[in-house]
Structure 1
């Protein structure tokens, strides 16, 4: 510190703040939001904190200052704990007759209120799904609009609710569904549904999960009007509800004797308590075969991944793809899986 200029001392002080915040975030997946709601909010900015600390490392390296080691050590610790934020390579998709392609897509009511500045968004979404032709697709914020044709899927399960605007979740499959149902989250329009899928001699369960939304408008002007106290309170309340919903999912899953795939919009990141709770011993298909940041939500400030496909370890992960089609505030994701012989 003695050899630093006054400006660099200020920069290092700011560096310390961001380094401590990032270090603190590493314990967030182990802190239940019902007890630590305010701290849980920090997990939304973990990718931002990683980026900022990386820039500080570059700055001090250019200056040839040993101050680079603080953020460098914390970033390395985060890497060994959670892996890389950016996946530099992806698994080349393995073609196999046993492959199952499963997609997840929050379609935001098929653009009911014309959020997307493009005509015929709902038709474009259906055409996109038909073109990519996943064997199974889980859809969140499904709105049963007129002329919405999913007849190219023989097997379907939908759970729709709502008084003014009917919406809910759906599972469409090319394989037979022998059982299906809804978990019915209390005091919310969010939910989780499931279907038991039969492919050949194998039966497995697919969950479509839509955890509580944080109800954050990501437009800059709207965020400026929001007081930090109100924002923290609302997000903290949502995280508490997410914890309760995750516990409902786990309790339901315990009664299932089939192999499980959990898809959905978690409205939270891979650094969160609810993600860690739901993931358990399952494999995150993006971690195993994805590429890049895995962005699945249209957040303008930095890439954020809140949509997941988690698979039982009995499944081999043969591929993963993030799509860049902008028909919703979410981007579709698809994993290619196969059951081990």
Structure 2
């Protein structure tokens, strides 16, 4: 009986290991070519965890079958470290550094998604306490209770049809240029600002790529029509690819080094993340983060869909994700040396 159980377990193990192995191809497969395969990027964290559990199971039984998941996990070590980092990195020497913070503020809880009062003030307090040099906000809404007066420079762009939601770049340093990519037929967008920092100038991109429009609650997902849900995600991934191509084209024309931060609405295992990062950028979480680094309140697994990507030639001093439930996203920050 035990042999039969182990055969069934290993069969399931083989399927999950194969699925994870296939997911390693995702950065090289465009959503517009194979939209169904691109959806697999959302399941990669689950596949990594399940393979780790199978590895532990066979290791306890002292079975060679553990080699299957072990080899697959080793082959995708960069995927594993995108999900979880054992050690972080920090330095007390913050001279000549630049601090960055990105946060999808979800309209400051305008429609009471969170059963709590004072969310706008709490977010304002968090930003004031962290005091980043540059703060990029997504889904920004002009709430009367917010206070970011500590920033002398501000660029907001209300791309949404209602002109109520914006992308905003706050800065302690002056702008010499700014603009919007103004994606068509969507509320999502990318804005940028060229910021003079002492004797240097960098271009900051505040990114909010195509949203999926799906619930984060497992009960709601269970009730949803799976075919419609899958089609919706495939459609949004295709739009993300178009938006990413537009962003990269714009980045290539930048006369300065680029920093890309914001809500990608996709994971570190995706085609769009890989394409953006390939523009001589590094992921600050992978360089200095610790733990899961989750940025989105998704019930099934710790999702990381918000990023701070900085030039390869900069030193990442630290990275931090904040476990505060003031939005459906969690804020992230990083300190770098230009």
Q: Secondary structure at the match of 1:264?
A: strand
| Of 311-320 and 150-159, the range deviating more from structure 2 | 311-320
Q: How far, CA to CA, are the matches of 1:38 and 1:92 in structure 2?
A: 40
Q: Which aligned pairs between 1:156-171 and structure 2 lie closer than 5 A? A: 156-164=154-162, 166-171=164-169
Distance 1:80 1:119, change over 3 A: closer
Q: Secondary structure at the match of 1:5?
A: helix
Q: Partner of 2:322 in structure 1?
A: 323
Deviation of 1:229 (Å)? 1.0
Q: Partner of 1:229 in structure 2?
A: 227
Q: How far, CA to CA, are the matches of 2:147 and 2:84 in structure 1?
A: 37
Q: Partner of 1:309 in structure 2?
A: 308
Q: Partner of 1:137 in structure 2?
A: 135
Contact kept in structure 1, 2:73 and 2:80, CA below 8 Å: no
Deviation of 1:93 (Å)? 2.4
Note if 1:56 corresponds to 2:54. yes
Q: How far, CA to CA, are the matches of 2:24 and 2:312 in structure 1?
A: 25
Q: Partner of 1:109 in structure 2?
A: 107
Note if 1:36 corresponds to 2:28. no
Deviation of 1:87 (Å)? 0.8
Q: How far, CA to CA, are the matches of 1:266 and 1:94 in structure 2?
A: 30
Q: Secondary structure at the match of 1:105?
A: strand
Deviation of 1:222 (Å)? 1.2
Q: Partner of 2:250 in structure 1?
A: 252
| Of 147-156 and 234-243, the range deviating more from structure 2 | 147-156
Q: Secondary structure at the match of 1:275?
A: helix
Q: Which aligned pairs between 1:61-76 and structure 2 lie closer than 5 A? A: 61-76=59-74
Q: Partner of 2:192 in structure 1?
A: 194
Contact kept in structure 1, 2:266 and 2:305, CA below 8 Å: yes
Deviation of 1:252 (Å)? 0.5
Contact kept in structure 2, 1:34 and 1:240, CA below 8 Å: yes
Contact kept in structure 2, 1:261 and 1:312, CA below 8 Å: yes
| Of 38-47 and 161-170, the range deviating more from structure 2 | 161-170
Ranges in structure 1 where 5+ consecutive residues have no aligned partner: none
TM-score by length of structure 2 reads: 0.96
Q: Partner of 1:335 in structure 2?
A: 334
Ranges in structure 2 where 5+ consecutive residues have no aligned partner: none
Deviation of 1:215 (Å)? 1.3
Q: How far, CA to CA, are the matches of 1:334 and 1:84 in structure 2?
A: 16
The number of residue pairs the alignment matches comes to 337
Q: Partner of 2:173 in structure 1?
A: 175
Deviation of 1:331 (Å)? 0.4
Q: Partner of 1:6 in structure 2?
A: 4
Q: Residues 219-252 of structure 1: CA distance to partner in whole angstroms, max 9, x if unpaired?
A: 1221112122111100000000000000000011
Q: Which aligned pairs between 1:85-96 and structure 2 lie closer than 5 A? A: 85-96=83-94
TM-score by length of structure 1 reads: 0.96
Deviation of 1:162 (Å)? 3.3
Q: Secondary structure at the match of 1:187?
A: coil
Distance 1:108 1:267, change over 3 A: same
